[in-house]
């Protein structure tokens, strides 16, 4: 599991490092580049409802193996794309395969938490963050030495080999006739359901209203997280007078604190519970972002962005874990629904923050992100399971994997 999350983060980090080179190589302006970049997140959101159905029907382990192979070669496709159309198609493919892999990994994470009887999801997402940081460093190094496709091909081959080997340790679902994973049937949505509900996988079933509430919190969290991460450099440069080369310190501090927070997140979840952890983390994120906006000192603002990253580190993993436990027999569907709503924040968040910044200034726009983070903290109680649900999932202290835990 850790290897798969690293591969997913590595691919994303390499692409982020490649963006300036793509702009220079294709001779495109900021506007055209800005219109192209959301293609990846749009493909990711569109793939999630399908990912949930596939994970529940055929098993998350199978979907992880197939999507993992595709994600492993995506850096090569993105690096070698020679036209804007090729970049857009590669981004779309990356978004779709990344969405499939994201949901399947989270569903597999829920099953592992059930098997080992302790929180694990935040640690898995920590490996994604570390993979993203490693990918950004590696991609920057490849760009600096002007490496050709051979260097990225070596990364793709290594990633493919890792995906094939790591698949042996995935947990398999019980198989029914025809090799399909056994799962409870959901009630079908009524014919009068709205199209947007169908497109997001929002069919009525067990815990439908709770999944919607979790999805709204995920939307608030990812919108605020994206705003703080993506606009921190501009805020430091334009409002605090930091030099262009040092403006990235805010994003670097945010990312490092997020990775560190995720390494400690499972211990926090075991001590305070999912709702208590998200509530505390949401308040920490809001306090960090507020201090960054109120500070007139660049160092103080960077420290504030670091606390903000640490705060947001645990919210999404805990929300996805809670979504997978709403209907433990079909974790993929619940995670897909919450993730599809949440990742809309990556698609519409930049437009929201940019529009607010144009109307009232960037500090006020980032204040909107702080309000969204506060909503996550205030309504974190939705992560608490109903009274009839068992809390014994995390009651054990030692990992107790089931017999035959390797998928076959």
For 364-375, the pLDDT digits (tens) are 999 999 999 999
Q: Are residues 167 and 292 in the same domain?
A: no
Q: Reduced to 3 states, what is the DSSP secondary structure of residue 327?
A: coil
Look at residue 93 and tell me if it is in a domain: yes
Residues 242 and 350 in one domain: yes
Q: What CATH number corresponds to the domain at position 169?
A: 1.20.1250.20
Residue 90, CA distances (Å) to 5, 16, 78, 107 in order: 20, 14, 6, 26
Domain count, the chain: 2
Do 275 and 219 lie in one domain? The reply is yes
Q: Please give the residue range of the domain that contains residue 3.
A: 1-174
% of the chain beyond a pLDDT of 90: 47
Mean pLDDT rounded to a whole number for the chain: 83
> Are 227 and 134 part of one and the same domain?
no
47 within a domain of the structure (yes/no): yes
Judgement on whether residues 128 and 65 belong to the same structural domain of the protein? yes
Residue 11 domain flag: yes
pLDDT band for position 215 (50/70/90)? very high
Q: State whether 167 and 46 are in the same domain.
A: yes
Are residue 286 and residue 345 in the same domain, yes or no?
Answer: yes
The residues that bridge with 175 in the sheet, in sequence order, are 181
For residues 363 and 298, state if they share a domain.
yes
For 111-127, what is the mean pLDDT?
A: 90
Q: Are residues 139 and 47 in the same domain?
A: yes
Pair 147, 216 in one domain: no
Query: Cα–Cα distance between 213 and 361 in angstroms, integer?
Result: 30
Phi-psi region of 241 (alpha: psi -120 to 50; beta: other; left: phi over 0): left
Q: Which of 150, 174, 198 is the last residue of a domain?
A: 174
Token digits of residue 313 = 């580190």
CA distance 63 to 108: 10
Instruction: Determine, yes or no, domain membership for 162.
Output: yes
Strands (E), 177-289: none
Q: What does the pLDDT read at residue 29? A: 77
User: What's the pLDDT at 246?
Assistant: 74
Looking at per-residue pLDDT, the higher value among 314 and 396 belongs to 314
- Which range is most confident: 45-49, 246-250, 311-315? 311-315
Q: Which residue has the higher pLDDT, 359 or 193?
A: 359
- In eight-state DSSP terms, residue 379 is T
Co-location of 322 and 380 in the same domain: yes
Question: From CA 103, how far away is CA 94, in angstroms rounded?
Answer: 14
> What are the respective helix, strand and coil percentages of the chain, to the nearest 5?
80, 0, 20
Query: Which of 144 and 74 is assigned the larger pLDDT?
Result: 74
Question: For residue 381, is it within any domain?
Answer: yes
Query: Does residue 139 belong to any structural domain of this protein?
Result: yes
Question: Is residue 193 domain-resident?
Answer: no
pTM recorded for the entire structure = 0.81
Instruction: Write the DSSP assignment of 153-194 as a string of letters.
Output: HHHHHHHHHHHHHHGGGSBPPPB-GGGPBP-PPPPPPPTT--
Question: Where is the domain boundary, 126, 155, 174?
Answer: 174
Tell me: pLDDT of 309 over 50: yes
What pLDDT score was predicted for residue 174? 54
Same domain? 290 vs 146:
no
Tell whether 394 is covered by a domain.
no
């Amino acid at each position: 599991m850790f290897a798969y999350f690293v591969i997913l983060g590595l691919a994303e980090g390499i692409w982020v490092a490649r963006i300036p080179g793509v702009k220079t190589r294709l001779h495109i302006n900021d506007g055209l580049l800005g219109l192209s970049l959301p293609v990846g997140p749009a493909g990711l959101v569109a793939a999630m409802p399908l990912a949930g159905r596939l994970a529940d029907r055929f098993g998350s382990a199978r979907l992880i193996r197939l999507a993992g192979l595709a994600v492993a070669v995506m850096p090569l496709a993105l690096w070698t794309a020679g036209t804007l159309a090729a970049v857009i198609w590669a981004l779309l493919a990356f978004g779709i395969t990344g969405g499939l892999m994201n949901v399947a990994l989270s569903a597999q994470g829920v099953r592992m938490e059930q098997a080992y009887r302790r929180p694990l999801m935040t640690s898995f997402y920590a490996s994604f963050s570390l993979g993203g940081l490693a990918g950004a460093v590696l991609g920057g190094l490849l760009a600096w030495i002007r490496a050709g496709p051979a260097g990225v091909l070596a990364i793709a081959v290594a990633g493919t080999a890792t995906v094939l080997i790591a698949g042996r340790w995935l947990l398999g679902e019980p198989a029914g006739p025809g090799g399909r994973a056994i799962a409870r049937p959901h009630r079908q949505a009524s014919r009068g359901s709205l199209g947007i509900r169908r497109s997001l996988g929002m069919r009525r079933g067990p815990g439908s209203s709770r999944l919607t509430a979790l999805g709204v919190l995920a939307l608030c969290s990812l919108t605020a997280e994206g705003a703080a991460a993506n606009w921190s450099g501009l805020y430091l440069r334009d409002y605090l007078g930091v030099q262009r080369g040092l403006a990235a310190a805010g994003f670097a501090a945010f990312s490092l604190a997020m990775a560190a927070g995720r390494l400690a997140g499972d211990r926090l979840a075991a001590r305070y519970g999912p709702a208590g952890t998200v509530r505390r983390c949401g308040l920490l994120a809001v306090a960090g972002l507020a201090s960054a906006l109120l500070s007139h000192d660049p160092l103080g603002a960077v420290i504030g962005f670091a606390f903000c990253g640490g705060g947001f580190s645990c919210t999404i993993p805990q929300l996805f874990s809670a979504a997978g436990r709403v209907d433990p027999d079909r974790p993929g569907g619940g995670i897909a629904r919450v993730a599809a709503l949440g990742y809309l924040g990556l698609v519409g968040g930049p437009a929201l923050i940019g529009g607010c910044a144009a109307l009232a200034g960037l500090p006020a726009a980032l204040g909107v992100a702080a309000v969204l983070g506060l909503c996550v903290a205030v309504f974190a109680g939705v992560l608490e399971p109903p009274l009839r649900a068992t809390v014994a999932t995390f009651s054990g202290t030692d990992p107790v994997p089931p017999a035959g835990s390797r998928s076959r």
